[in-house]
Structure 1
Amino acid sequence: RVIKASDVDVAGARDEIFNLIQRNPNCNTIYFDGWSGLGATAVLRSIPQALLSMKSPPPGLCFGRIIYIDCSTWKSKRVMQRKIAHELKLDRKTMAMFDDRDEDDFNGVDHGSRDVIREASAMINQTLIQTRFLLILLNGSTDEFAPSEFGIPEYQCTIIWTFSRGFVTMHMLTSAYTERLEEILRRTDMFIYTVQNPTNLENPELNALFHEEAASIVSRYPFMQGIPLTMVIDCWRYGFFLRRSSQSTIRLDWEAQVPDFWMCDGIIQEVTSAREISNALDSEISYEGDATLLDVVLAKMMIHLETSHLVVEDEGDDEAVDKYGERPYRWISITSRNKIVNEKMQNVLAKASSIFVAFDRTINAPRLPDALFKLSSKLGILTLSGCAFSFVSPPFIHCHTLRFLGLSYCTHQNNTFKVEEGDHVTKWTCLHNLGVLDLRYTDWGEILSDEKMLRIIKPMYLEEALVDINNSLVDKKELEILDLSGNSDMKNLPASLSEANRLRLLVLDGCDELENVVLPNSSLRSFNFDGYGPASHWTSTGKLPPMSSRPKPPSALEKKHAKICKISLEGCTFLEDLFLRGLPNLEELDLSECAIKIIDFGAMVVDVPKLKRLFLLGCERLRAIKWGLVEKQLELIYIDTRSTTMTGRALRTCAQQSSLGARQKSFKLQVHAVIVDARLARSLWAPVAHASYNCCFNIKFTSSTSCSDGVVQRPVAMEGKEMTVIGFNDQRRYDASTKAGPYGDVSIKIGDGATPMQAFPQGPMGQLDCHIEIGDGSRNVQSEVEMNPYAGNFVRLIRYSQSLHVHDVSTYSNIMPASYFDYLLWCHVERCPSLHAVFPPGSEDLIGKLENMWASDLLMAHCIWSKGVDITWSPARFGNLKHLHLRCCPSLQFALVMGLPSFPSLETLHIIHCGNLRHVFVPRNEENQHPVVEFPKLTTIHLHDAPALREMCEAAVTVAAPALETIRIRGCWGLRRLSSLKGRKPGTRRRPTVEIEKDVLDALEWDGVEAGHHPSLYEAPVHSCHYKRRMLRITVLS
């Protein structure tokens, strides 16, 4: 239904909406269009206050909840849903979903594309389903509001909403507009608009609506509280004045600087939050809609106001004076093709705070009178385009109130219209209060030699050579913005830039001769280097321009070849915006310690065909890397997302640790990374996968405060089967656990040997070419290992790794994916007290690559490799396993699940302090029990403090180990069988040595000499001087 409202103010329109709600109880969704778009926000904003102030509202206006949602500044559906949840005061668990659900960050999803959270929608629905409520919504998107998406029930409720796309948006209510709106509003029951067009409203009524709209903006920003509403309106008027002036035949190219103009003109006064206010209003103020309607409304509001403006187009001075008289105007724009401005305009310009003058650049620049601005005592902004004047004594020399000076295509002429020999530029005394100096196609000479508080913008090519840029920027410590675009002869950045401690934006578009950019400036927020040339205009003086204003890629013949080969922005801790393009010689990019969250090589860094090295050390906020074509060409990637409290040099040193093999080989790609959140691994798979088998990576997952001495420990070559035995200092770390053993208070030596039974080999200290380490404090590891094992994520990296070290992970019960391990050669897991199993059900040593398994201090682990379903079973499982070392796993019941009844490569079995261990190897199910299990290469068995252990292999009658050399057993009181020597050729080897307690030896069962299982086949056993004796179960005194 389409309803016309006749009221002309906010209160009247609101009351009419109330009446319509009561008369149409079945209309659940209402769209209000206001006065051709104007005032709709103000009316909706007034509704909650009006309803809450009613002592006895009529039945049709009784609501259990009144929810007001302001999404005028549109971000995404998720942000809107979060605001709804916040208004409903949902529980902490639900609100935490919005903080935890930052998956899209790590997937590189644009903020504007982020959808609602289903679980949050369910909670919103559950909260509202039993309540009659009123929802008032200001929708800043371009799509119709769909309540069900957000969990809002569409019955027993009233929803009033409007499109709110900026201050101020107006449109003529034509049939074409209404038809287009009807196509959008498919879920809306009622469409309300006012009969009165804004042009028909009286001036007081129009101003009242503008004030209400301005109040809506101010209410959104805490730092705006208390500012006059007229300031917001004046900012809109100023922007529209400049927009209208820029549409003349002689274009003014200054529209993008409007946020600076608001401050320099004095509309936004000098307060501590002036920049924040300016940026906020820049995002809020809009000029969408019907230009004619906006023009009429502006002209109507300017009548009898001090903020009146004057736009002069192609008129002579006399005509202008005669037409406009000498009335003072605050904002003046003069554009002309062939007229000359003379001193008769002085009185018209006298009270102006902003003056824009532009002449046709296709003709000789007309000369400005020397005293043209002599009476302009309030002038804050002056821009001159295509003008000629004396650079020695410019016409604005006495304008000491100037804050913004823009010169475009301006040329120097002395007082006699000739440039005399010896004439030169001296410093301009009018610049001492200047905030912005914008020079375009204008030779600046020595103008800046003594100034300190400037922001310089020069986004165009210079026609004249620059004169000593470095000297011009000396002492510019307050410099905020520097644009050196088009300086094609500049070979080095000004050294004085390192002292500019307030520099926020640096632009180097078209600086083709630069070879290196090294700028450790902590204040820099935006950096732009476009090899294709400068942008045509900028959105504002502090932001990077949109792609629409950038030059198009040139043809192969026209393309320039920027020499830049290295860009280092290391230490720019506030840097968030970056754009690099058309840099064919760039080889190294260092963004260490920058604040960038998502690096997009398809949008931020483009056309850099020789980029080889990327440094991202100390990038705490890094969430994703979108590689684009760069993944095919990179050779070296360094990433560290830990805290920047560590110096960049220390971080770089940590990252450069690599395997011994990697230092001796040549790889297509090397990746060195220290990562706090495991979800970032999703960004690492693409380049690793592209390099395929010609890749080396060393990736550590740890806490943000970890101060370990590198990604991994220093590499140690692993030759043969021998492993270093821990020394005295290493042994102390295990004292607590060893004291729990039966010989914890005794220094044990066996025979003449000096090796204690408590000793345990160190885990592998080196690393292989593809290495992953998971340490204490690493985030989201468990959730990541449960992801799809075939997607490009953390799981794929683990599956691709050759060596794996997991340590000090105290909170996760699972840190391995239930997937195939195609390349894993050795695995080292220690000090993970919550781990249930090292490898969960579904894990598989698919092609039998695993050689070394080392586990220690796993308090809760019941097994090393879990039993899984038959579909995951591989006959090659553990075919290359050489060493199995287990230590301090008190809950361990078994270690590994057998594939075939043979471990053809196992050489060493070393187990100590595993009190609940019953069998080392178990069959995968009852149907696959094997009477004989073979260990053809097993040479060493070391068992200590495993009192529940009965035999090595469950359900096996014979465990054949013909190559046995050494058996050491202590504290294994339940052991009943030793390994058989069946298959050992007589005389080929010396008999195995045996070290075992006499009590245990006496309890062993033997199969006989023929079975290769008899005490005579072993060396005479050596017994310890200290062994466990059977004690009475009652005390002596009893």
Structure 2
Amino acid sequence: MRNITRIRESSFEETVQKVISYLYASGDTNEKRSIYYDGWDGLAASAVLRAIAENPPPSLLKEFDLIIHVDCLRWKSQRALQRAIAEQLKLPRQLMAVFDKQDEEDDFSGVDEGSRAALADATRGIYQATRNLSYLVILHNGSASEPDLASLGVAQHGWFSSNSKSKVLWTFRGMLRLNPELTRDMDDASHFYLKSERPSRDNPYMLFGIDPTVNPVKSLRFLGLDHCKDSSGEEQEEKEQGRQPMEFFQSLWVLDISHMDWELDLIPGAIEQAAGSIRDVHINKGRIWGSNLAWRQLQNLRKLRVIEPTSSWETGNLDEFNGMEKLELLDLSGNTEIQVLPSLSGATGLKTLVLDGCIGLERVGTDQLPRSLESFSLDAGKGGEAKLMCISMAGCTRLTDFIMRGSFARLEELDMSHTAVKTLDLRNPVVEAPHLQRVILLACERLRAILWPAKGMQQLRMLCIDTRGEAMEDIPSSSKKLERHECCYANVAIVDVKFVQSLVTRDRSSSLPDLSYLGIKFCWNTNKFCVNLCMSATTKDYGHNYINKEKTGQPLVEAAAIPKASYNTYMDIAASKIPTTCSNEDISAMQLQPLDFHVEIGEGTSTAAVRSRQGIEAVTFVMNRVESLHLHDNFPITTVIPEHILFPTWDTEATVMWRGLKWCRVERCPKLNTVFIIPEVVSYHRELETFQAADLLTAHIIWRRQRPPIRRKPYIPEMDDIDLGASFGKLRSIHLHYCPRLVYVLPLQWFKIARQPYFPNLEAIHISCCGDLSQIFPMERGFESREGVEEFPSLKYLNLYELPKLQQICTSRILAPKLEAIILRGCWSLRRLPATNRDGGRPPVMVDCEKDWWEKLEWDGMDAGHHPSQFAPRHSMYYRKPRLLRGSVLR
């Protein structure tokens, strides 16, 4: 063991000055860079260091250019220590923001706080700030190892430091003092060890400032009794003569009883006198209560610990702690016989509640807990004997530390609504809850992660999460109906898209049917589920556009009026008067109901914020399972899924292909430029049936293809044969309204297979008020059909309204044999209609349009199925004012 220098000064002030003397370069520790101070066997070491840091003498200020005081006795992580040093150095805000950004990323990823390492950017910044300075670091170390400040960026001698006077003065926390074995591993040339000489054991009273010549009973503050027993003779004598009055109880502050039964037989009035003085009561494997003691009588009590009592105490009195406003800590660990938790709502100052080992409790409810609670711990052990069926912490708005461990064989419901919990840990072997069916976290604004067991919770029936701070008033009634049908219902409303990581689990060890190449699956049973995922910072639009459905999977369609134009050439004609034979279901703007897996992206959120690999993989998995998507009122978003998620920097076999998406609605996103970016080597939108877009002021294109980077492998395991022809194979309708900068909708050149049509099931195209639209489906050269004609075999309805620049529907000519109705207004640049090839006695196609536009159309002739006789034009008599030329301006 290394030599330890002992300080013999007796007073605290003298000890501080003595420690300071070892910090000067001219002293005995000139070559010692690290000085460890142990205090009086660990006592008062931090107090000495704090006194030096808070009141350094002028000579010490001259000795060092900088004094850095870091108190990390409550140890968190290396990163927290690095942040504390950076704050002392007052590093630039942009560098401090790196800590916030990475901590937030780790919060959503579920990274344990103790595992968070130092940041490289901060290490460089700290080194630049300290390398040319002489400094003194005063560190209260709460970790279990020697601090390695060099790894955090603090420039030390031998690390190219220009000043060799720099020193580190540090200590361990009291109960984790420096291990003598650890000193053998330290460099004796650079380390110096100090400790204060403890008082003589022959006079232990000096430790407490007690004069043994004076009777201390009347001023006794602390009483600790461990394994104490009354002798048989004294016990009999007390019975005969009566117990002596316990005068000390009147002045006592702390009572610590361990391994003994002691029924306090207090004199009349003793409790009333002690109520104003006693603050802490600790009972471990013992007992002090009797018929004349009630906890609520001790109104000044701050801490009460009753751990594994030898005799159960009465809890049937539900107001046991009523009025104990100063009680801050209540520890009932090991009370296995407690079945009903006493009401603590009257203990309005209670901050910490420990119920470890209370396996007899059947319920922990909101009505039993105060709102002031900040920390809660319940460890049921591994025996599986816990009787708890429900744990509800709802309404404990200050609760930040929630610990649940052990086996909860009967637990069915966990409600953490309106709490400040950041992470909910349900992982095995931390928690075993095989019958947990309902997890509710409404109005949990600070919630960042839920850690599930590796294989999820397949028995889960209800998952309700709202991190926006404005929770719904109650659990939706539809969730209760689905729960009765053994269907998992997940209603999730989040502000940050990164929280999506908490909806999935990773199990790379087993073969999974869903995205097994990532080892990702949902935390619930996906055979029967209904998911409503809302990503928005506000609740004002959430849920108002949808009608509750009794049966999942059946979309409800409602008719709506033709969209109002931003500019109308025909102000004297009401939209409702425009003749049509088209069904409302096919051509009108539809009110769609969310399907079994619905995602809503609203105001204040964006997928662009997801940057980590774990987050990107989770978003990719979830988006490929979405069935209905509603994106609305989102100002910052420029595309639904940005390129860094579609094409990550690492080699991966996954990308967002929207495999399950059936309908999509996008509206009121003023910065949206491209709705969907499509990797050109994969099948895309295979299930999409309906697409709607409205009020996209800057959108130039709806679907834009993009070639993946060369580093990325295009192989998709779930698609042995990449059938690009399946893209958009089920698309039935396209509805676009007021996208004034839209140039085209969808290029057709990359997913054409042989002679298959591009859109075999497309029935309706409805586009209005898109002033810059020139082509709907453009084609590059070399991809046109050899016959120069592209067939739309199912197209029935074509509704084009106020598209002044539209020249072509498609670069090639169009054949639509099932075409039934066309409605056009304000499409003055369009010169051709689709060919229909009407035969078999079918009625001609109804065309509602302007008369002068009809007269200027171009035709290919009867042989091409493109002749005016195959159409039935209908012209309004009032489409323009008499004596007014089209395009004229009144002055």
Is the structural similarity TM-score above 0.5? Answer: yes
Are 2:298 and 1:459 equivalent residues in the alignment?
A: no
Q: What is residue 474 of structure 2 aligned with on the other side?
A: 652
Distance 1:641 1:4, change over 3 A: closer
Q: What is residue 150 of structure 1 aligned with on the other side?
A: 153
| Counterpart contact for 1:302–1:308, Cα < 8 Å | no
Counterpart AA for 2:539: S
TM-score, normalised relative to structure 1:
0.69
Q: What is residue 706 of structure 1 aligned with on the other side?
A: 539
Counterpart AA for 2:115: S
Secondary structure of residue in 1 paired with 2:874: coil
Distance 1:795 1:361, change over 3 A: farther
Q: Offset at 1:970?
A: 0.8
- Residues 735-774 of structure 1, C-alpha deviations (whole Å, 9 max, x = no match): 6xx33343467534555569999x9844443111111111
Q: What is residue 250 of structure 1 aligned with on the other side?
A: none
Distance 1:408 1:92, change over 3 A: closer
Q: Offset at 1:489?
A: 4.8
Distance 1:585 1:72, change over 3 A: closer
Q: Offset at 1:858?
A: 1.0
Q: What is residue 247 of structure 1 aligned with on the other side?
A: none
Counterpart AA for 1:113: S
| Counterpart contact for 2:458–2:525, Cα < 8 Å | yes
Are 2:114 and 1:112 equivalent residues in the alignment?
A: yes
Q: What is residue 625 of structure 2 aligned with on the other side?
A: 800
Matches of 2:544 and 2:171, distance apart in 1: 51
Counterpart AA for 2:306: K
Distance 1:1035 1:639, change over 3 A: closer
Distance 1:836 1:1010, change over 3 A: same
| Counterpart contact for 1:427–1:450, Cα < 8 Å | no
| Counterpart contact for 2:140–2:173, Cα < 8 Å | no
Q: What is residue 567 of structure 2 aligned with on the other side?
A: 740
Q: What is residue 863 of structure 2 aligned with on the other side?
A: 1010
Q: Offset at 1:940?
A: 0.8
1:573 is aligned, of 397, 400, 424, to 397
Unaligned runs of 5+ in 2: 8-16, 506-520, 647-655, 709-713, 716-721
Q: What is residue 777 of structure 2 aligned with on the other side?
A: 921
| Counterpart contact for 2:29–2:192, Cα < 8 Å | no
Secondary structure of residue in 1 paired with 2:414: strand
Matches of 2:256 and 2:28, distance apart in 1: 55
Aligned length: 808
Q: Offset at 1:996?
A: 1.1
1:631-1030, aligned counterparts within 5 Å? 631-644=457-470, 646=471, 650-653=472-475, 666-667=486-487, 669-686=488-505, 688=522, 691-703=525-537, 705-708=538-541, 710=543, 713-715=546-548, 723-726=557-560, 738-743=565-570, 747-750=574-577, 761-778=588-605, 780-784=606-610, 788=613, 792-816=617-641, 818=646, 819-842=656-679, 846=684, 848-869=686-707, 874-898=724-748, 899-900=751-752, 901-923=757-779, 925-930=780-785, 931-953=788-810, 955-956=811-812, 958-982=813-837, 984-987=838-841, 989-1023=842-876, 1025-1027=878-880
Are 2:162 and 1:308 equivalent residues in the alignment?
A: no
| Counterpart contact for 2:306–2:331, Cα < 8 Å | yes
1:504-543, aligned counterparts within 5 Å? 504-520=351-367, 521-532=370-381
Q: Offset at 1:710?
A: 3.9
| Counterpart contact for 1:861–1:892, Cα < 8 Å | yes
Distance 1:516 1:35, change over 3 A: closer
Counterpart AA for 1:193: F
1:160 is aligned, of 154, 167, 176, to 167
Distance 1:15 1:1020, change over 3 A: closer
Q: Offset at 1:652?
A: 2.9
| Counterpart contact for 1:10–1:43, Cα < 8 Å | no
Matches of 1:135 and 1:815, distance apart in 2: 52
Matches of 1:452 and 1:305, distance apart in 2: 31
Q: Offset at 1:666?
A: 4.5
Distance 1:605 1:43, change over 3 A: closer
Identity over aligned residues, as a percent? 27
Matches of 2:667 and 2:4, distance apart in 1: 74
Q: Offset at 1:473?
A: 4.1
Q: Offset at 1:348?
A: 5.7
| Counterpart contact for 1:907–1:937, Cα < 8 Å | yes
Are 2:34 and 1:179 equivalent residues in the alignment?
A: no
2:227 is aligned, of 359, 365, 386, to 359
- Residues 652-685 of structure 1, C-alpha deviations (whole Å, 9 max, x = no match): 34x555699x689643x32111111111111112
- Greater Cα offset, 453-462 or 800-809: 453-462
| Counterpart contact for 1:698–1:771, Cα < 8 Å | yes
Distance 1:1034 1:847, change over 3 A: closer
Matches of 2:385 and 2:233, distance apart in 1: 34
Q: What is residue 97 of structure 1 aligned with on the other side?
A: 98
Q: Offset at 1:86?
A: 3.2
Secondary structure of residue in 2 paired with 1:838: strand
Q: What is residue 317 of structure 2 aligned with on the other side?
A: 469
RMSD: 4.4
Distance 1:179 1:1036, change over 3 A: closer
Matches of 1:952 and 1:151, distance apart in 2: 66
Q: Offset at 1:432?
A: 2.3
| Counterpart contact for 1:934–1:961, Cα < 8 Å | yes
1:46-85, aligned counterparts within 5 Å? 54=62, 66=66, 68-73=68-73, 74-85=75-86
| Counterpart contact for 1:863–1:892, Cα < 8 Å | yes
Q: Offset at 1:587?
A: 0.7
- Residues 49-76 of structure 1, C-alpha deviations (whole Å, 9 max, x = no match): 657854xx8xxx8xxx636252543432
1:327 is aligned, of 200, 204, 213, to 213
Distance 1:1025 1:674, change over 3 A: same
TM-score, normalised relative to structure 2:
0.79
| Counterpart contact for 2:500–2:615, Cα < 8 Å | no
Matches of 1:707 and 1:642, distance apart in 2: 12
| Counterpart contact for 2:559–2:591, Cα < 8 Å | no
| Counterpart contact for 1:916–1:948, Cα < 8 Å | yes
| Counterpart contact for 2:573–2:878, Cα < 8 Å | no
Q: Offset at 1:882?
A: 0.6
| Counterpart contact for 2:493–2:534, Cα < 8 Å | yes
Counterpart AA for 1:14: L
Matches of 2:323 and 2:54, distance apart in 1: 53
Q: What is residue 419 of structure 1 aligned with on the other side?
A: none
Distance 1:513 1:87, change over 3 A: closer
Secondary structure of residue in 1 paired with 2:795: coil
Matches of 1:104 and 1:53, distance apart in 2: 39
- Residues 384-440 of structure 1, C-alpha deviations (whole Å, 9 max, x = no match): xxxx999x967426732233344556557899xxxxxxx999994444223344455
Matches of 2:247 and 2:4, distance apart in 1: 58
| Counterpart contact for 2:532–2:599, Cα < 8 Å | yes
Matches of 2:699 and 2:233, distance apart in 1: 85
Distance 1:1034 1:776, change over 3 A: closer
Matches of 1:6 and 1:1025, distance apart in 2: 107
Q: What is residue 607 of structure 1 aligned with on the other side?
A: 432
Matches of 2:594 and 2:446, distance apart in 1: 28
Matches of 2:544 and 2:116, distance apart in 1: 34
